[in-house]
């Protein structure tokens, strides 16, 4: 059947308004479980320092009645440090784009600031969970902080030829031969952490090893909810011999690593006045410019409280 002659139709008519919904849909993940889960503190210099304290080794202690006393050897503190790293995003918006009507946002620069802020936070999550050694930097080399992987060395299970950082906070790890994730590896790391005095509360893994973890015997059992006709198979807790740990999937940490963390023994230290700030840049033409940045470092309050199962397969 053909259209009758003279019928006005959408194919030939000029002036029909566009149909553009006033919503913008985004699915890219913005959850940053490590940064969100640890403490936040303030740094006052680009070299951020803190101290750790150990107790003397526990031992049998029996003394003579009426014996004179001598001083026990003092256990001194250990002074640690990390370097503040600068991460940034820079949106530019032309004067024309700022002036025209927009769908889904009223102010183009404000919208770009929001997007760049989310991107910056994701970058920071990648940084602090990466395998990166500390770089003090100079006028031609950017400063870099030492990451989680460059601190943990006391409790680890690694593949063949893998090596822990020689000095915590200074060296990166040496990756080894990848192998399948097993519960025995996790139990060994948990046992070492407990022996060291730690109380880990979080297991952090990538997508593949989150599913592998779901086969372990210590994980919470799947639950069938008869009322809603659903089976809840997600595993978000692990009942270990040393306590219950939350299991978190992290999209931005290295998928080959399983981090076993006592979260209150880590902190993000932001240089004073430099925590996710938006700084206007003087225009040099017909565009608005902003600099969104953070200057921050990672504080490892005691690496013995955490551990790692390293060098895991990811597919």
Segment holding 184, helix H or strand E: helix 183-196
SS3 of residue 91 by DSSP: coil
Query: Is the model's pLDDT at 235 over the cut of 70?
Result: no
Residue 30: count other Cβ atoms within 10 Å of its Cβ. Answer: 12
**How many Cα neighbours within 13 Å face the side chain of 146?**
27
Going from the C-alpha of 80 to that of each of 48, 137, 178, 197, 308, the distances in angstroms are 8, 18, 31, 19, 21
Going from the C-alpha of 253 to that of each of 65, 149, 281, 309, the distances in angstroms are 58, 10, 32, 13
Strand pairing report for 266-271 and 39-43: parallel
Strand pairing report for 78-83 and 223-225: unpaired
pLDDT in tens, 31-48: 899 999 999 999 999 999
| 236: alpha, beta or left? (left if phi > 0; alpha if psi -120 to 50) | alpha
- Residue 12: pLDDT band (50, 70, 90) is confident
Does this model's pTM top 0.85? My answer is yes
pLDDT in tens, 59-89: 999 999 999 999 988 889 999 999 999 999 9
pLDDT score of 233: 46
- Residue 19: pLDDT band (50, 70, 90) is confident
Per-residue burial over 176-193, b if 16 or more Cβ lie within 10 Å, else e, is eebbebebebbbbbbebb
Query: Is the model's pLDDT at 223 over the cut of 90?
Result: no
SS3 of residue 233 by DSSP: coil
pLDDT score of 105: 87
What domains are there in the chain, each with its CATH number?
33-53+76-309 (3.90.1690)
SS3 of residue 35 by DSSP: helix
Summarize the confidence of residues 48-56 as an average pLDDT: 92
277, 125 Cβ separation under 8 angstroms:
no
The residue length of the chain stands at 315
pLDDT score of 138: 96
Q: What is the mean pLDDT of the chain?
A: 90
82, 169 Cβ separation under 8 angstroms:
yes
Summarize the confidence of residues 224-246 as an average pLDDT: 69
Least confident of 3-12, 29-38, 198-207: 3-12
Summarize the confidence of residues 115-134 as an average pLDDT: 95
Could you tell me where the DSSP H helices lie in 48-158?
95-99, 108-128, 148-151
In angstroms, the CA 151 to CA 228 distance is 46
For 209, the token pair is 């090893």
pLDDT score of 230: 45
Query: Is the model's pLDDT at 244 over the cut of 50?
Result: yes
185: nearest Cα among 259, 263, 261, 264: 259
pLDDT score of 124: 96
Summarize the confidence of residues 119-125 as an average pLDDT: 95
User: Locate tokens 């950082």: which residue?
Assistant: 165
pLDDT score of 8: 77
CA 103 to chain centre: 33
């Amino acid at each position: 059947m053909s259209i009758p002659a003279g019928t006005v139709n959408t194919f030939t008519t000029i002036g029909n308004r566009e149909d553009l919904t006033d919503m913008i849909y985004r699915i890219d993940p913005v959850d940053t479980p490590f940064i969100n889960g640890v403490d936040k503190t303030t740094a006052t210099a680009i070299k951020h320092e803190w101290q750790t304290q150990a107790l003397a080794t526990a031992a049998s202690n029996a003394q003579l009645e009426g014996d004179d006393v001598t001083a026990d050897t003092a256990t001194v503190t250990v002074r640690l440090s990390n370097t503040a790293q600068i991460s940034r995003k820079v949106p530019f918006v032309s004067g024309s784009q700022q002036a025209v009507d927009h769908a889904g946002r009223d102010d183009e620069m404000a919208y770009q600031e929001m997007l760049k802020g989310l991107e910056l936070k994701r970058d920071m999550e990648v940084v602090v969970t990466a395998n990166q050694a500390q770089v003090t930097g100079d006028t031609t080399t950017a400063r870099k902080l030492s990451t989680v992987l460059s601190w943990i060395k006391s409790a680890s299970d690694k593949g063949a030829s893998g090596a822990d950082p020689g000095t915590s906070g200074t060296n990166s790890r040496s990756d080894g031969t990848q192998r399948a994730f097993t519960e025995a590896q996790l139990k060994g790391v948990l046992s070492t952490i407990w022996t060291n005095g730690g109380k880990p509360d979080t297991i952090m893994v990538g997508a593949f090893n989150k599913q592998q973890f779901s086969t372990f015997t210590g994980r919470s059992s799947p639950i069938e909810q008869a009322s809603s006709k659903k089976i809840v198979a997600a595993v978000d807790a692990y009942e270990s011999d040393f306590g219950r740990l939350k299991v978190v999937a992290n999209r931005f940490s290295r998928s080959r690593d399983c981090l076993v963390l006592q979260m209150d023994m880590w902190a993000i230290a932001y240089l004073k006045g430099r925590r996710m700030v938006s700084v206007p840049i003087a225009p040099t033409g017909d565009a608005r410019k902003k600099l969104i940045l953070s200057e921050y470092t990672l504080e490892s309050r005691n690496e013995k409280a955490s551990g790692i199962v390293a060098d895991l397969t990811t597919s």
